[in-house]
């Protein structure tokens, strides 16, 4: 289990999420607090834990209980003592929510808080606790990085973190796709961040390109089988506060 976790972590760092993790590495400092929201199997956690150091902390939110238990066991086994795994969803309110999980059993990387998922494929409805980042973190916590992969609920995450985004200005590394949004498009999400003083780039292979060059009709074209797996399909973004 440990070997598989480390293999996924190194594959992310040096093959699959090169630009995303390089951006985090440049931004994070020892002692920082960083978040992995929608941690899934945790390929970002290993690196975040190392870079935050012993005086820093990593908070991983994963609402699928089975995955959260797996991550806790892995972090304990590898001695990643600065990692806290919360079996909670993150959104625009604190309380309870329904997680839509594709398939008849087990966990899924495609689980979403958005009910529209259940209209596209068979899903189980799983009740989960949900919290806002503004409620979770104390006012004096320096939240330095937010990595977000929440299958269409990223706007809700940002809405529930407006204080942190205004006052702490964390780096944002997130997935955003028109196919997951129930209304509007990715630019509606981007505009909310623009209003908070952010500017962004999109991940193109192993490089970052200016957001002004992003065209969803081209870069997230929804034609053909499994269109999201095409090499010219881009859905990851890196935003930071303007200087």
Under the banding of pLDDT at 50, 70 and 90, the label for residue 116 is confident
For the chain, what percent of residues have pLDDT higher than 70?
99
Domain boundaries, the chain: 2-241
CATH of domain 2-241: 3.40.50.150
Segment 233-243, tens digit of pLDDT: 999 999 999 97
How far from 85 is each of 23, 34, 192, 201, 242, CA to CA, in Å? Answer: 23, 12, 28, 29, 31
| DSSP-based three-state secondary structure for 100 | strand
> pLDDT tens digits, residue range 171-205?
999 999 999 998 899 999 999 999 999 999 999 99
pLDDT for the residue 115: 82
Average pLDDT score over the chain: 95
């Amino acid at each position: 289990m440990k070997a598989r976790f480390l293999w996924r972590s190194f594959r992310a760092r040096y093959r699959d999420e090169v630009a995303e993790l390089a951006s985090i590495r440049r931004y994070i400092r020892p002692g920082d607090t960083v978040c992995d929201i929608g941690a899934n199997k945790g390929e970002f956690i290993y690196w975040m834990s190392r870079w935050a150091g012993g005086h820093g902390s990593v908070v991983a939110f994963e609402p699928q209980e089975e995955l959260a238990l797996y991550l806790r066991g892995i972090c304990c086994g590898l001695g990643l003592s600065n990692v806290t795994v919360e079996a909670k969803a993150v959104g625009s309110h604190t309380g309870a929510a329904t997680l839509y999980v594709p398939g008849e059993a087990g966990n899924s990387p495609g689980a979403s808080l958005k009910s529209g998922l259940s209209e596209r494929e068979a899903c189980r409805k799983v009740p989960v606790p949900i919290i806002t980042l503004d409620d979770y973190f104390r006012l004096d916590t320096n939240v330095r990085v937010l990595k977000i992969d929440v299958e269409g609920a990223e706007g809700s995450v940002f809405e529930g973190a407006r204080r942190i985004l205004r006052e702490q200005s964390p780096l944002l590394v997130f997935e955003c796709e028109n196919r997951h949004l129930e209304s509007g498009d990715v630019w509606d999400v981007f505009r909310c961040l623009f209003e908070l003083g952010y500017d962004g780039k999109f991940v193109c292979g192993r490089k970052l390109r200016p957001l002004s060059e992003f065209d969803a009709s081209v870069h997230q074209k929804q034609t053909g089988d499994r269109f999201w797996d095409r090499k010219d399909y881009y859905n990851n973004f890196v935003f930071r506060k303007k200087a």
